[in-house]
Amino acid sequence: MPHARGTIVAGAIEAVKEIWGDLGLAELRESLPPSVSRALCDGIVLPMAWYPETYFESCCEVVWRRLSRMEDAAFFRFVHHSVDAGWTIFHRALMRLATPQRLARRAPDLWRHDHTHGELLVDLRETSGTVRIRGYPYARDSIVRHGQTEALRYILSHARVRAVRATRHDTGDDFAVTFDWT
């Protein structure tokens, strides 16, 4: 069974709390399957522990349908807060110094650090590139693809670039995101 690192799951829970407060957490708790709710909302999510990817997928689904009401702006705010919650001050400082080329070299290792399944591949050019995620079973879900596309765009926007545009290309169980930046 595919798993994700606790930092990803904890970031999502923290984002819900930051954006929607206690009412949002209550809505999340009530809307998740009972076993997922117990694991994510009733205990401490340990950053270095592994959690089933389905837990994160369920959380994103509730946020998309119930909390953000299927509005991109609200959902992307959740994605941004989730990413930010997983970053320390040190990470933020490093991102301001990073180039897309440096990120591209590190991206596959960062993926493997946080996911037990799937492979992240990067093809980079001067002011554009493509990130392909293969063999990741939850990439089939459109809301997960939507969130991951925005997360990748948001992360890249913290590197030494200005405007970042992302275009997603779905290919069955895999998907790719093409970026260009100035």
Residue 87 pLDDT class (50, 70, 90 cuts): confident
Considering just the CA atoms, what is the radius of gyration of the chain in Å? 16
pLDDT in tens, 90-149: 677 777 788 888 888 888 998 999 999 999 999 999 899 999 999 887 766 689 889 999
What CATH architecture does domain 98-181 belong to?
2-Layer Sandwich (3.30)
pTM of the model: 0.92
CA angle 126, 113, 151 (to 5 degrees): 50
Contact 179, 129 (CB under 8 A): yes
pLDDT in tens, 30-72: 999 999 999 999 989 999 999 999 999 999 999 999 999 999 9
Burial class (CB in 10 A: 0-12, 13-18, 19+), 119: middle
Q: What is the mean pLDDT of residues 87-91?
A: 72
Q: Delimit the domains of the chain by residue range.
A: 3-85, 98-181
Angle between helix axes 53-62 and 34-41 (nearest 10 degrees) is: 90
